[in-house]
Structure 1
Amino acid sequence: MPWYVIRTKPQHEVKSAQFLEKLGVEVFCPVITEVRQWSDRKKKVTVPLFKSYVFANLLEKDRNMVFQAPGVLSFLNWLQKPAIAKDEEIDAIKSWLKNDRLDNIKVNRLQPGDEVEIKSGKLANKKAVIKEVGNKKLKLILTDLGWTLTANIQDLV
């Protein structure tokens, strides 16, 4: 079954995903923990990794059931077809969220605009374009999805 990309109203990602799970749909709503600063305190909050998007593993014939969930707007389309995320891409996002260490990585003066090929792991032989290179983070554009991902590089050798 393919992973469809579903567009939601802003700040409805988690609620929509929970409702879809109750309907029996396999849903993936990646979340991260951020530290937010208020005038009197700091607080850790859980926020969606992709604002206004969730992933649903569905058969083509079951696609309309997602509209029963509050906050679901539509399917994301790519070239007039519903956007589909590959299993390897979903697995890679899950792996990154678990903070798995990246092994056998060598960084040599990477520049924005450089095209890189991932040599091993779940996204082996996939190409990405470097958007930004920072001291501790590297932003990549996965050309297949058109999304920007940030990888921590502080622990890389």
Structure 2
Amino acid sequence: MKWYVVYTKPKWKKRAAKQLTKFGVNCYCPLIKKTQQRSDRKIRVEVPLFNHYIFVQLAEKDRNIIFNSPGVVRYLFWLGTHAVVKDKEIETIKEWLTSDDSATEISVMQYQIGQKIKLDSGPFCEQNAFVKDITKTHYVLILESLGYVLKVKNK
């Protein structure tokens, strides 16, 4: 079975993932812990790693079951077909989120805008990416296989 990327309504990622799990769909919504400032205090909350996106693993013939959840909008498409994420990429995200060094920084100072690179460290190690933008503090990379934009600090 393949992993597909599903686009959800705003603030529906966790709820949609729970509903899809009830329907028997293998669902993954990567969460990170983040400190948020409230008017009178700071609180620690779990927020989705990817805004509006969750991953579902199901057979091709069962793809329409996800629309039983009111929080699901559509599948994400990449180059005219449903975006498929490799098992290895899902495992990489899971390992990165459970490791102690999840704040790893990636340095790509020698690269130029538009250049294709292969990441050699950090959570997306061994992934291909294009350098989209370089600022004084960050690099903006496009992860080829996920079709996602990654912003990393430069050292």
Q: Normalising TM by the smaller chain, what interval?
A: 0.7 to 0.9
Displacement of 1:129 in angstroms is 2.9
Pairing 1:97–2:89 present: no
- Using the alignment, how far apart are the partners of 1:138 and 1:98 within structure 2? 24
- Which residue matches 1:17? 17
Give the corresponding residue for 2:86.
Answer: 86
Report 1:58-137 matches (<5 A).
Answer: 58-99=58-99, 101=101, 107=107, 109-111=109-111, 113=113, 114-119=115-120, 125-130=126-131, 131=133
1:62 deviation in Å? 0.5
Task: State the distance in 1 between where 2:35 and 2:17 align.
Answer: 23
**Cα distance, 1:84–1:51 mapped onto 2, change above 3 Å:** same
**Cα separation, partners in 2 of 1:132 and 1:89, compared to 1, 3 Å:** farther
| Cα separation, 2, equivalents of 1:26 and 1:66 | 11
Q: After the TM superposition, which residues 146-157 of structure 1 pair with which residues of structure 2 at under 5 Å, given as runs?
A: 146-150=147-151
Q: 2:107·2:154 contact (CA, 8 Å) conserved in 1?
A: no
Give the superposition deviation at 1:118.
3.4
Identity %: 39
Please tell me the residue identity of whatever aligns with 2:147: G
Deviation (angstroms), 1:23: 1.2
Q: Name the count of aligned residue pairs.
A: 151
In the alignment, residue 149 of structure 2 is paired with which amino acid? T
Instruction: Measure the CA separation in 2 of the matches of 1:30 and 1:82.
Output: 20
Deviates most, 25-34 or 142-151: 142-151
Query: Which deviations, in whole Å up to 9, do the C-alpha atoms of 1:121-156 show, x marking residues without a partner?
Result: 996653223455777x765421222212356788xx
Determine whether 1:143 maps to 2:139.
Answer: no
Does the aligned pair in 2 maintain the 1:6–1:55 contact within 8 Å? yes
Cα displacement (A) at 1:39: 2.5
Q: Is the 8 A contact 1:66 1:72 kept in 2?
A: yes
Hey, what does 2:45 align to over in structure 1?
45
For 1:97, the aligned partner's letter is L
Structure-2 residue corresponding to 1:26:
26
Is the 1:6–1:54 contact (alpha carbons within 8 Å) kept by the matching residues of 2? yes
- For structure 2, the residue ranges without an aligned partner over 5 or more in a row are none
TM-score, length of structure 1 as denominator length: 0.78
Give the Å deviation of 1:120: 7.8
1:48 to partner: Cα distance: 0.8
Q: Which amino acid aligns with 2:48?
A: P
